[in-house]
Amino acid sequence: MTASPAGSAGRILTLPNLISFVRLLGVPLFLYLFLVVEADVAAVVVLAVGGMSDWVDGFVARRLSQVSRLGELLDPVADRLYILATLIALTVRDVVPWQFTVALLARDVVLTANLGVLRRFGYRPPPVHYLGKTATFVLLAAFPVLLLAATVPGAAVAAGAIGWGLALWGLGLYWLAGGLYVIQAGRLVRAARAEVG
């Protein structure tokens, strides 16, 4: 995100942050609708709205000059929770195979270890790369389409092809962005060691 105007970085009560909080509430709502009451159509709607709002909160923050540190933290947390919750739910209901879930989660395990290394050397998490945001957007677009393919028989063929096209594209971008984060961390760690040496 772009630099925020003076005084706005510490703000909490902003419209973008409200959107992010609502997105977070959508995670347990989706899990309840999809896994407990199996209201699949409502679950598709919640998932689609959650995916679209990923772009909306950032757009509103920049448009209204309400970029805040809290918002910069909430946005990726909401993204990860949506992806994690959706993956688990879709795997439990056999909408996506476990291999796809493992492939996505393995990337997050790698980046968690990467973050631990950065913190050990006194660095904060790197800023979100546009490639990572694109990967997240594509994945959040793929999930409701895959869910639609699994729950609406008439849409199975077309929605399945579109959903898996997006999902595999998102998976590739997700790992590519992860690789860039690891390379960036490696450069920072080498620089820190050079200073000590």
pLDDT at 125: 75
CATH fold of the domain at 15-196: Four Helix Bundle (Hemerythrin (Met), subunit A) (1.20.120)
Domain residue ranges of the chain, discontinuous segments joined by +: 15-196
Looking at the chain, the whole-number percentage of residues with pLDDT higher than 70 is 84
Rounded distance, CA 123 to CA 148, Å?
A: 42
User: 59-68: b or e for each residue (b if 16 or more CB lie within 10 Å)?
Assistant: ebbeeeebbb
Whether the CB-CB separation of 178 and 80 falls below 8 Å is answered with: no
- Which amino acid is present at 163? G
CA-based torsion, 86, 88, 42, 146: positive or negative: positive
Beta strands in 45-188 (DSSP E): none
pTM higher than 0.95, yes or no?
no
**38: alpha, beta or left? (left if phi > 0; alpha if psi -120 to 50):** left
pLDDT surpasses 90 at 124: no
pLDDT surpasses 70 at 6: no
Rounded distance, CA 48 to CA 133, Å?
A: 17
Confidence class for position 126, pLDDT limits 50, 70, 90: confident
Please, is 175 exposed, middle or buried when counting C-beta atoms within 10 Å of its C-beta (0-12, 13-18, 19+)? middle
Confidence class for position 101, pLDDT limits 50, 70, 90: very high
Distances (CA, A) of 73 to 1, 46, 79, 133: 11, 22, 10, 14
**Mean pLDDT in residue range 190-197:** 74
Half-sphere exposure of 77 (CA within 13 A, CB side): 13
pLDDT surpasses 50 at 4: no
pLDDT surpasses 90 at 187: no
**Mean pLDDT in residue range 118-144:** 84
Residue 150, C-beta contacts closer than 8 angstroms, at least 6 positions apart: 40, 93, 95, 156
Whether the CB-CB separation of 185 and 114 falls below 8 Å is answered with: yes
Whether the CB-CB separation of 67 and 49 falls below 8 Å is answered with: no
pLDDT at 67: 67
**Which tens digits make up the pLDDT trace of 160-174?**
999 999 999 999 999
**Which tens digits make up the pLDDT trace of 63-96?**
767 666 666 677 777 778 888 888 999 999 898 9
The per-residue pLDDT of the chain, averaged, comes to 82
pLDDT at 166: 96
Beta strands in the chain (DSSP E): none
pLDDT at 8: 47
